[in-house]
Amino acid sequence: MEKFRQLGLHESILQVIKAKGFSEPSEIQAKTIPLVVEGKDVIGSSATGSGKTLAFGAGIIDRMKRGSGLQLLVLTPTRELAEQVATTLRMFSQPQGLKVKEIFGGVSMGPQIRELRFADIVVGTPGRILDHLNHHTLNLRGIKYLVLDEADRMLDMGFIRDVEKIIQSCPKERQTLLFSATISKEIEHIANRHMVNPVLIEVDNKVDPKLLYQKYYDVSAEQKFSLLLHLLKLEKNGVVMVFCNTRRNVDRLCDALKHEGVHSMAIHGGLSQNKRSHTLEAFHARQTLILVCTDVAARGLDIKDVSHVYNFDLPSTGTDYIHRIGRTARAGKNGIAISFVSSGDHTEFRQICREISLDIEKDALPVFNVIPITFSSNADRKSARMRRGGGGRGRFQRSGGSSRGNWGGNRGGNRGGDRGSSRGRFQRGNSRRFR
């Protein structure tokens, strides 16, 4: 606990941290908490599972007072992450008695409106936060602290305009914290416009090859399911995540596994909030050991002790690959990542291997019974996009080039006052500061 005490936290927070079994801070916590306590704007670059919620929450909660109105707003890309972050903040704010409310779509706004009246902290997805702003059921004029969690994921999901509108509804004088696994041009744009002299904290996101064994099978699309079924039946005790690229493949794969006597549960953006919450609760409780999911589950969710990650469908980029396999080989435990590479996937797979600079071994196909069932592939998705007249991946596209700016560019008064005049390019080091 002494290392946490050295970060400048008050005794009330330290007691909660101790009660929850945290002995020493993670790298992102050790580097970020002192800056948060000092009131600095911070950009934290770290992977899922690195302890970001405690990194920003501990230092902010330390300075909040119950009953002073809504003071902290946290934006997250998904409903599941909003629930997870709210649960953690609620836990660490118990000594202060702060009221924490999670806000997301898929549920009625009525109960949210009633609870928002008494909230000190709100954690929500951009779309539903904007809904409340448009209906005048949420007032952000008293916000002192703004956190953008998994910011790159929010931008990838097309939330850039919603995020901008929400930020503009907050007071200019505030502390802003942004956490992102990658620092893209869009993230730079947000920092230029809405942050004041932010310090950039980077944490090593590389996969430890000593703990994670990676391999791939060159397998036809028609045999992918049969191979997966064979491998799952061999591993009876492991906790497994199977990634597909589409909701349709997730649902079909779960149905096919059930038909063959293998219990699994599905999670993707097309399910109701109650269904998604029930699925995660069941997986956490180990009522099922196999979770079949789209990338909605790869980012931000705290899913512990995953032993195997299967890329039933290959991800589109090396970054997405890293996020997926980052679900396993945590906390000093070994993990296995297995990818299925079919016809039409090889060019994409070679590009992924070049991007991440990792050695992924090819394994010979075992002998298994073939069940005739075929799932849509990456090649099918590309062909469909071409028929629709576009080859894009559906990621956020910049509208024009003038708004991108440089890290050291002038914000043009977006935060006002003299605070904006001292900014400049960041300097590399253990911590990077924008001056």
Q: Phi-psi category of 150—alpha, beta or left, where left has phi over 0 and alpha has psi -120 to 50? A: left
Helix, strand, or coil here: 122?
Answer: strand
Roughly how many angstroms between the first and final C-alpha of the chain, as a whole number?
33
Residue 128 near residue 105 (C-beta atoms within 8 A): yes
> Could you give the strand order of the β-sheet that contains 212-218, starting from the edge strand earlier in sequence?
265-267, 290-293, 240-243, 308-311, 335-341, 212-218, 361-362
What's the pLDDT score for residue 293?
Answer: 93
CATH T-level assignment (fold) for domain 212-387: Rossmann fold (3.40.50)
Q: Phi-psi category of 184—alpha, beta or left, where left has phi over 0 and alpha has psi -120 to 50? A: beta
**CA 10/CA 7 separation, integer angstroms:** 9
Residue 285: Cβ within 10 Å count = 8
Q: Of 403, 416, 433, give the one whose Cα is nearest residue 192.
A: 403
Q: Find out if CATH 3.40.50.300 is the number for domain 2-205+405-433.
A: yes
Q: Of 84, 86, 158, 149, give the one whose Cα is nearest residue 121.
A: 86
Residue pLDDT tens, the chain, 435 long: 788 989 988 888 899 888 888 888 988 999 999 999 999 999 998 766 668 899 999 999 989 989 899 999 999 998 888 998 999 999 999 989 999 999 999 889 999 999 999 999 999 999 999 999 999 999 999 999 999 998 988 988 889 999 999 999 999 999 999 998 778 888 888 999 999 999 999 886 555 667 889 999 999 999 999 999 999 999 877 899 999 999 999 999 999 999 999 999 999 888 887 888 888 888 888 889 999 999 876 666 767 788 999 999 999 888 788 888 888 876 667 889 999 999 889 999 998 888 777 778 999 999 999 998 878 766 555 544 444 444 443 333 333 333 333 333 333 333 333 333 334 344 333 444 443
What's the pLDDT score for residue 171?
Answer: 97
Supply 355's token pair. Answer: 């991007």
Query: DSSP labels for 302-325?
Result: ----B-EEEESS--SSHHHHHHHH
Residue 405 near residue 398 (C-beta atoms within 8 A): no
Rounded to two decimals, what is the model's pTM? 0.69
What is the DSSP code (8-state) at residue 393? -
Give residue for tokens 């954690």: 123
Where along the chain do its domains lie?
Answer: 2-205+405-433, 212-387
Judge whether 2-205+405-433 and 212-387 match in fold.
Answer: yes
What's the pLDDT score for residue 396?
Answer: 33
Q: Of 213, 240, 242, 241, give the one whose Cα is nearest residue 225.
A: 242
What's the pLDDT score for residue 391?
Answer: 43
Give per-residue burial for 187-205: e unless 16+ CB within 10 Å, then b.
bbbbbbbbbbebbbbbbeb
